[in-house]
Each structure stands twice: as structure tokens, then as C-alpha cells.
A and B are shown apart, each in its own frame.
Chain A
């Protein structure tokens, strides 16, 4: 039974994405996880099917700004079982694209957004630095004004798609003395002299996605690549956080569901003391708890999604959903692994990957601690 939030077209889209994920992604997940990368062609394919343009208007190659459709896509994509694939495809259209679409010039949209929606260009968003994580205002990458160019110096870390992105929407200080009021966003293209990928980072999870450390040394970026207005970058970043966090919550719920399904499957097969694990009350209660947490997380997330999609203030609800859904994913994956016993600890069962992949949820896109600060700041004014 479809949830009331979604219309008939969303359920049709769900079928479409599900079929694609089943046939063209799932069979390759193991291989891509091993390789630490999924093929670039997957971006083209997703673009060709229109899946990268669900939240963008038709003039840029999208199918309309439908965040419910966008939500269906990420939910179904997460069901491929590799959060890295979802993160890589997602970084392009969920976090890099929106900055250009919402705040960028028409020229930037034509040059970067349109090919992102077709899948021809891969985008990344570069905010975090070795010494600036949750404290976004403290970034130290600078952009010096030199007439028609900026000269960028500094480095970025933990950048999803960073290694192979064709462009990085990069947060820089254009007024270093002004704190968060001195941040701007620049679109920095791959082969710009002075921009190098220092390293492909090794991670605990999200292994099918590439994560880079980026270095800028006297990197000259044309002024035309400034997104929106100078020194407004912090506001731009904050505005898209809601969607990014919602996506993380939606993916967390879908991933938790996958872990639960895996746990149920295993519990029914595994015989101990002459009975399947699924006949033991201790395991049955565990499964019931896991399912209930997931339903709670889904309800909270859909509540936030409905507020967001109808244009209402969703900040508190989104923060709550991200905290609860990502923590639920951790808890459910952990219980699913526990049910698997020794096999859960082995690399040949997928449950270990769900456990590893879930872990970043309470860290990336704003930590649980920062989310709680957002919630309480709105409780106590």
C-alpha cells in the first residue's frame, strides 16, 4: 500500500527506478564495492532515464521541481544495497546541482547544471576542510580578488565525488575577516591549473563512492564562476542543507529496511537448537523492535518531507528526522549483524556492509550533535 504522501505518478516512478536498480545496479554492487568506484556510465544512464532531473525544471532538462519524486528516487536507489552508489549519484544532483540552480547565473546553469542533469558532468560540493568540519564559518580556503579572476588557496577534505568530479562547487573565504559573512561559492573545474586531487581517501563504508582530498594552489578561477553574490555562500549552503539532510534520512530508512529484511531472511534459515532463529522469542522481539523503529523513523522523515515539499518551514522536522533515521539505521544494522552471529562479522554476507555504510549517517551532512543544536535553538529562543 502506497503512503498517502505519494501520488500515482510517484508510485509508477518507484516501479521504474526499482526495475532499473534490480537489473542494472544490484548485480554489480559487489564488484563496484571492491573496486572502490562505480562506472561513470551510471551517471549517463540515470540521466538518460530522467532520474537526475526529478527536482529540476524542464528548461534545464529536468521533469519539474518535484521533491516527492526526488525522494522516491533516493529511497529506491538506496535499496541497491550500496550506500556508496547512492552517495555518488546523489552528490551530483542533491548537493552540487542545487547551489547552481538556485543561486547561480544563467551561464553557470547552462554550463554545469544542464550536463549534470543529463549525467554528462559529475558534480561535487566542497565545504569541509581538514580543520573545519561542523564549524563551517571557520574554513580557511581563501579566494583573492584579482580583477577578472579569483586566486584560490587552501584544501578540502571528505569530498564525495571529489576524485572524478568535473567541477566542485567550492566554499571559499572572499573576506577572511568577516567570519561566516565572508564565505562565497565558486565553481572550480577539474583541469583548472593549481587544482589537484591530493588523494583518494580510504573509508570504513560508502566504498563504491570516491571521496577526495582536494588542494588549491594559486588556482585561478574566473569571476564568472562565482555562484550568486560574493560573501553570501554561507546562506546558500544553509539553504540546501534541508534537502541534503532529508535525502540522508530517506536513505537511512531504506537502508535500515534492507538490513531488517536481511536479518529476517537469515533468522528463518539459520537453525540452532533444532529450530530456526526466527522461532526464538528473543529474536522475534528484536525483529519487532527493529521494524517499529523503522516505521517511526519513516513517519518522522515523511512528515519532514511533506513540510519541505509543500514549501513550509521544515528545519526542525528535518533535523529531527536526520538524527532519528540515521541513528535508527545504525541500531537496526547493528542488531541485524548481531542476529547473523559469526557470519555477520564475515565479509561474505552483505549485512557487514549495511553496518559499515550506516555509520556515516550521524556524521555527514551535519552531525547528530549539530542537528540537536539546531533543534534546541528553535526550542529555546
Chain B
């Protein structure tokens, strides 16, 4: 079984987001991690491999710092990594998916996994687009995955419940929280990862030089309004409660 996991490097969940002088998201001094949903995808790939054998390839589109996220996946137990450097190309979900799909089309795969969304832009589009380009089915927000004899049975989250679906392989699955508990890389895994192949590709290597351009452009970014200070309502309990109810209704408009 050959498994490909698409992963993205994102800001740490605890990173404080600021905008630079040009109104872009400030990337300096922020610690970077593997997108937590992608971690579930990597873990699931490793479990499938441990059960049925095969090879796990992790792939990312990004600058060289994204190697850290790929290296982490290798340390967890993935077999090889591919990093596609987009160079100067502007990326949106369409462009990223185009690049990923092109790179993956050169590999053998039965299963493609990814997080259902990235915690930074949260668009939840890339994996689905990759499936579309490769002309394979996609199952989103998966919380359980079982693979046997060329097909997979997946449990996916739907509003108010879950749905059990069956799909023929190859197929794309996107991981939701609850799918598994990702492992911590051990020191042995970390040392082994240093010797595992990390293939670096450019758009030129994929024959995509000058072929991909973003279809969606971000015009501006804005930070959420800072939280206002709380209001304390003084007075007798009964009277204060009446005032509170009134404010909740008229000012906050929550009841």
C-alpha cells in the first residue's frame, strides 16, 4: 500500500499574529509547526502502513523552512519526503493543489491523506482540489478509516452525527480531530529521519514553471477587534439582574 500525505507548515497555535507595515501577516520570529490536522493524517498513514505494509511519502509545497515539518513526519516514521519550492509563484488553494497533484501524479499511490483544513487560512480546499485534479474520490472530515482489499470504509463527521461511507481506492481522505492520537517522534526516529530521502523540487522540475498563478488574491488583512473591558453592574441583586437582562437584550442582543 502506497500512501501519500500532503502536509503544510503553519504558525504555532500559540503564536501571536501581527501585521507588518505593509499590512501583511508578520512571519518573523514566529515558531512554526506541522498543521495539527496534517499530524492526524501522518499518524493515520503510519498506522495503515504498520498494519498492511507499504510506503508513506509526505509532500509539502513551501519554502525551505517547511522542511522542518516534513522532517518531523519522517521522524514519526514516514519513509520519504518531497518539498516543492514554488519560488516566486503566488499561491492560492487552486495553485497549491495544482502543484501537489502534479507531483503526486508522478508517484504510485493507493491512499492520499491530508488534514481537513489548515489552522492558518482554514480554507479546507486543497485536498479536495487535489482529488478532483487526479480524478479520484474524496472523503472529508474522517474520524475513522479502515482499509481492506482495494476499498476503504470511512466514518466522517456530518452535522449532528456521523456517516459511514465506502469508497474504492485510490482515494483522498481528510483527517478530522479524533481520527487518532499522533505519536511523538522518538530520538531514534529523529536520528533515522536524518538519513531518509528529502527530495527537493521546483516548479520547473514538475513542468509547471510559469504555468500556475493564483486565481484568488488577498486584498487586505485585518486583526479582530480587541476585546472590550467587561461591564460591572452595581446595585441590589434583583435590580442588577433586571439591568443585566435589559442590557443582554438591548445592547448585546444575545437574548
| Chain A residues packing against B (C-beta within 8 Å) | 8-9, 12-13, 15-17, 19-20, 49-51, 53-54, 63-64, 66, 69
A–B complex contacts, Cβ < 8 Å, 16 sampled: A9-B190, A9-B191, A12-B68, A12-B71, A12-B75, A12-B185, A12-B193, A13-B185, A15-B72, A17-B184, A50-B186, A50-B187, A50-B188, A53-B187, A63-B187, A63-B188
Question: What residue in chain B is nearest A12 (Cβ atoms)?
Answer: B190
Q: Which of A9, A20, A69 contacts B184 (CB 8 A)?
A: A20
Shortest Cβ distance from A104 into chain B, in angstroms?
23
Q: Which of B71, B72, B184 contacts A49 (CB 8 A)?
A: B184
Shortest Cβ distance from B66 into chain A, in angstroms?
14
Give CA–CA (A50, B33) in the complex, Å: 22
Question: What residue in chain A is nearest B76 (Cβ atoms)?
Answer: A16
Give CA–CA (A53, B188) in the complex, Å: 10
Question: What residue in chain B is nearest A10 (Cβ atoms)?
Answer: B190
Q: Which residues of A contact B246 (CB under 8 A)?
A: none
Q: Which of A19, A20, A69 contacts B187 (CB 8 A)?
A: A69
Number of CB contacts from chain A to chain B under 8 A:
45
Q: Does B249 contact A (CB under 8 A)?
A: no
Q: Which of B1-44 contact A (CB under 8 A)?
A: 33
Chain B interface extent, by class: 10 to 19
Q: Does B200 contact A (CB under 8 A)?
A: no
Q: Is the CB of A16 within 8 A of B185?
A: yes
Q: Which of A16, A19, A20, A53 contacts B190 (CB 8 A)?
A: A16
Shortest Cβ distance from A262 into chain B, in angstroms?
16
A64/B186 contact (C-beta < 8 A), A12-B71, A12-B75 known: no
Q: Which residues of A contact B75 (CB under 8 A)?
A: 12, 16
Give CA–CA (A208, B33) in the complex, Å: 32
Q: Does B47 contact A (CB under 8 A)?
A: no
Give CA–CA (A13, B68) in the complex, Å: 12
Shortest Cβ distance from A25 into chain B, in angstroms?
12
Give CA–CA (A8, B186) in the complex, Å: 14
**Other A-B pairs beyond A16-B185, A16-B190, 18, CB < 8 Å:** A8-B71, A8-B194, A9-B187, A9-B190, A9-B191, A9-B194, A12-B71, A12-B190, A13-B185, A13-B187, A15-B33, A15-B185, A49-B184, A50-B187, A50-B189, A51-B187, A63-B187, A63-B188
Shortest Cβ distance from B109 into chain A, in angstroms?
27
Q: Is the CB of A64 within 8 A of B191?
A: yes
Q: Which residues of B contact A69 (CB under 8 A)?
A: 187
Q: Which residues of A contact B194 (CB under 8 A)?
A: 8-9
Q: Is the CB of B184 within 8 A of A16?
A: yes
Give CA–CA (A349, B190) in the complex, Å: 37
Taking each of B71, B184, B186, B188, which has the highest tally of chain A beta carbons within 10 Å of its own beta carbon? Answer: B184
Shortest Cβ distance from B182 into chain A, in angstroms?
9
